[in-house]
Amino acid sequence: MLDSIKRTILLLCPDVYTAQVLEKLLQHGGHIVDTVHHELVASLKIASSCYYAVVVDFCGHRSVDEALRFCEQVKSLRPDQRFVLRAGHWQYVPEDACPDAAVSKDDGPAALLQQLEKLAA
């Protein structure tokens, strides 16, 4: 049970096709993935379930500021929840911002998996 929690990720991505690709990538990396497309659904799941990490990729549908506000909301519910934000090179994420990690989409899929492994260490 504990091992499955350590590998279970909540993926929030409003774009269905991007979410499918990220889900397969994370599964290939050994993670169990629970994918949602709306913040409200994600909030409900976070409140009722334990996740190793929450990975958010708004795919250009929302601003980084909205992602940071969502991170603050998540951390108010579960202060120890790991939160990873995928952002484009054009999006600025301050170093002291809420997410435990910000991963550039330009760094490719391996960067996301590496960051998740780094958080696990």
When divided into structural domains, the chain yields a total of 1
- The pTM (predicted TM-score) of the whole model is 0.89
Q: Tens of pLDDT along 33-88?
A: 999 999 999 999 999 988 999 999 977 666 788 889 999 999 998 999 999 999 87
- Domain, as residue range, for 11: 2-120
* CATH classification at residue 74: 3.40.50.2300
Angle formed at CA 17 by CA 100 and CA 90, multiple of 5 degrees: 50
